[in-house]
Structures are given as structure tokens and as C-alpha cells.
Amino acid sequence: MSRLQPRDVTFMRHALDLAMQGRGYVEPNPMVGAVIVRDNSVVGSGYHQKYGDAHAEVEAIKDAHEKGVDVKGLTMYVNLEPCCHHGKQGPCADAVIEAGLGRVVVAMEDPYEEVSGAGIEKLVKAGIEVTVGVCEEQALKLNEAFVKRVESGLPWVMCKWAQTVDGKTATTTGDSKWISCDRSREIVHRIRGRFDGVMVGVRTVEMDDPVLTARGVVVKRVARRIVIDPNLRLPLNCKLLKEDGPEVLIAACGKVAGEERERVKDIESFGAKVVPVTRREDGRLDMCAFMRLLVKDYGMTNILCEGGANLTGSLFADELVDQVLVFVSPRIAGDQDAMSAVHGHNLHHICDTHQLQLDNVKQIMDDVLIDYRVIHPNGPEHRVL
């Protein structure tokens, strides 16, 4: 392994910027960018543009060759260890070796078990100088959802809500349209347009009758609509069933789904799918098992939860939430009975509250968007990088 050189951080940041362009297009793959450098100048660059398409290293080598550049002996910067296994594409490590590159700078090892250091080892054995760990924290942050899925079998879960300054998400009558401004709601549609799933509870469907689609924005991937409905209360005349849109998954108690076969048939006649989920002793669905199923059977990497206080509280109780996005509107509700974002926790001490770590704050017209990462006391901390 070689040592860090002064220019390494600059070019790795370039690779990270390229990688970010794949967000929403490449999942369940990681976002990867690569640049090839000669004499402190980039002579080839590329990124993984779409799931199933060529990987970043191959794109960068191709770009250099198309410019008439011989890459033999040159340096490549890539934010994730080159793969060494056969998937939809051939091993990137082999492409790097065949191209004759002299040095490869890697931000982080690939946690995927079929790689996990083997790609780096292959490069070293081929006589290529390798540096690992340049901008590692930024690389981990970029692919935090991929890393969580690979290491835990669980998707990255973002909970999003809009609230007044005094923390209310709706009035006592359930009215919440609209707390946030038009620009904030546009951002929500953009977020939906890069997630694998958008989740709500059945109560939200009953109260708001949402469509849960990304509208008026570029849709990078089509998110399945997910409804947590243990007792199959979903109204058959709701927009989720009646209007065209992506697939709807209904998470229901397995026992209820087995007993209410006619109800299941009615729901599935609209093209939705009822997914049986085990009910726990406390009466709640086993959300951890359901999340694993979404990864295993539906290939999901990230899920946006736009549910009400009970669903959000349940996800927090099970330590399934990784990120919280809060739109704060310049309004005061002033009603102690108005709705809040999270329910279901009967705490007596502040030390028992869920801890968040501030990642970013942004002003959107008169709204404020606050982005947090969740600290998990019983699991690995999702560090703000």
C-alpha cells in the first residue's frame, strides 16, 4: 500500500462528485465515480450511470481511450474498491489491470462479501500501487444506504414530516394542508423520485387519501407505495387503489390476511399486493422482518416514511430509522391537543429520548429544512460525516 500524496484528496473529491450523479439511478448498486490523472490533469472520467450499465472504472478508461490517451502507468481515483466478481458486468479489477494503470487510489473498501478487500488484493498482486482510505468518511456518507443494506440486510429509512415551529404536524381535526411552502413540497417530490419505497400507515390513507407519487419533477426511480395495514382497513375507494401509479404493497397481519381472504381478493383486484407479516406479542407488526423482506424480495435499498405519528413512533421504537428530515414552517399552532410527529413512547426522563445528530440545515423560502442522522444506542452509530 502506498502513502497519501498531496493531490489525492482533490482528485478523490472529483470522483465523489461524479459518483453522486448516479443517485437514484444505480440502486441497489453503490454510487461510484472514477477519474484517471496524468501530470495533475484529469484525462479520463466516468461514473456508474444506471443499474446494469458499465461501472465507473470501465467508463473512465473508455473515456481516456476515446481521447487518445494511453493510460498505462497512470493513476486512477475511485471512491469504492474495484469489484472482483462477475455480476451484470465483468470485474472492474480485471479491467484496471488489463488497462495497465500504475496506481489506484481507493476511498473505501467494498463491504459486499464477494469483494471486501479482494479487489484491492487482486490489484496489489498484479503489481499496481494501491492507496486506501482517501476521503473515506465522505465515501461512507455517500453510500450509507448501500452500506447499511449490505451489512445488516435492512434498508435505509428516512422519516420525513412538516411541522409548525411549536412542533405540530396537523390540527386536532387532522388538517395539515399545507404546513410547508410550495418549494418545500417540490423537494419532497424530488426525494420520492429517488427512493425505492414510500411508506405510510393506513390511518394516513384514511385521513389524507394520498397518491404517494413523485409529480412535477425528474423521476430517477419509481418508488413502490407501501401501506402498513395490520387489519386490512384500507378503503377500497382510495386513490392508491383507484388511480394509476406504481405497485402498492399492503403489509397486513398474516393471521388476518389468512382469515380475510375475500378482503385480500378485493384489494388485490386493483393490482395491489397484500404481504403477510407476523404480528408480535405486543400487537404490532414485526417491522424489522418486513423491512428485511423488502430488501430480499423487492431489492429495496432505501425507504421514505411519510406516515403519521404512530407509524413513525413504531419505527423509532424498533431502531429502524436512520435519517430524519423535518420541514419547519413559520407557523404557531398553539394547541396542546394538535398532532405531533411521533407517538407511542411513554418516557419519564430526557436521557431516554431518541438522540439525533445534526447533519445539515437549509432555508427554503420561509421554511427551514433540518436533516438529522439517528444515533442508535444498541447498534452501530450512523456518524455524521
Question: What does the pLDDT look like over 271-327, one tens digit per residue?
Answer: 999 999 999 888 889 999 999 999 999 999 999 999 888 999 999 999 999 999 999
Annotated binding residue at 293?
no
Q: Could you say which of 57, 59, 109, 144 is catalytic? A: 57
d(Cα 31, Cα 135) in Å, to the nearest integer? 15
Average pLDDT over residues 235-258: 92
Task: For residue 381, tell me if it sits in a domain.
Answer: no
d(Cα 149, Cα 12) in Å, to the nearest integer? 24
The mean pLDDT value of the chain amounts to 91
Contact 201, 308 (CB under 8 A): yes
Do 51 and 165 belong together in one domain? no
Q: Is the dihedral of CA 113, 115, 117, 121 positive or negative?
A: positive
Interaxial angle between packed helices 56-66 and 92-99, expressed in degrees from 0 to 180 and rounded to the nearest 10 = 30
Strand partners, 325: 160, 371
Do 74 and 201 belong together in one domain? no
Report how far apart, in Å, the C-alpha atoms of 289 and of each of 146, 153, 249, 256, 292 are: 19, 10, 15, 17, 5
113 confidence band (pLDDT: 50, 70, 90): confident
Average pLDDT over residues 335-346: 82
Q: Taking 60 as the threshold, does the pLDDT of residue 121 lie above it?
A: yes
Residue 146, phi-psi category: left (phi > 0), alpha (psi -120 to 50), beta (remainder)? alpha
Do 57 and 78 belong together in one domain? yes
Q: Taking 60 as the threshold, does the pLDDT of residue 10 lie above it?
A: yes
Do 199 and 133 belong together in one domain? no
Annotated binding residue at 178?
yes
Domain that holds residue 160: 153-374
Best CA proximity match to 299, nearest among 55, 27, 112, 87: 27
- The pLDDT, as a whole number, for residue 382 is 36
Q: What's 361's domain CATH number?
A: 3.40.430.10
Task: For residue 1, tell me if it sits in a domain.
Answer: no
Do 196 and 275 belong together in one domain? yes
Neighbours of 345 (CB within 10 A): 11
Q: Taking 80 as the threshold, does the pLDDT of residue 87 lie above it?
A: no
Q: Taking 70 as the threshold, does the pLDDT of residue 384 lie above it?
A: no
Average pLDDT over residues 209-223: 89
Cis omega before residue 28 (within 30°)? yes
Annotated binding residue at 306?
yes
| Residue where a domain terminates, one of 89, 111, 142 | 142
Do 203 and 313 belong together in one domain? yes
Q: Taking 80 as the threshold, does the pLDDT of residue 237 lie above it?
A: yes
Do 32 and 93 belong together in one domain? yes
| Residue where a domain terminates, one of 142, 167, 189 | 142
Annotated binding residue at 10?
no
Annotated binding residue at 272?
no
Annotated binding residue at 161?
no
Average pLDDT over residues 244-254: 93
d(Cα 40, Cα 299) in Å, to the nearest integer? 40
To the query of whether residue 57 is one of the catalytic residues in this protein, the response is yes
- The pLDDT, as a whole number, for residue 85 is 66
Task: For residue 383, tell me if it sits in a domain.
Answer: no
Task: For residue 147, tell me if it sits in a domain.
Answer: no
Domain count across the chain: 2
Find all residues with CB under 8 Å of 373, minimum gap 6, and list them: 322, 323, 324, 356, 357, 359, 382, 383, 384
Pairing of strands 33-38, 75-78: antiparallel
273-277: strand order across its sheet: 273-277, 248-253, 224-228, 197-201, 302-305, 156-164, 323-329, 367-374, 356-364
76 confidence band (pLDDT: 50, 70, 90): very high
Q: What's 43's domain CATH number?
A: 3.40.140.10
Model-wide pTM > 0.95: no
Pairing of strands 75-78, 356-364: unpaired
- The pLDDT, as a whole number, for residue 381 is 40
Neighbours of 41 (CB within 10 A): 8
Do 85 and 208 belong together in one domain? no
Annotated binding residue at 244?
no
Do 235 and 120 belong together in one domain? no
d(Cα 21, Cα 352) in Å, to the nearest integer? 39
Which segment, 146-155, 163-172, 344-353, is predicted with the most confidence on average? 146-155
Annotated binding residue at 208?
yes
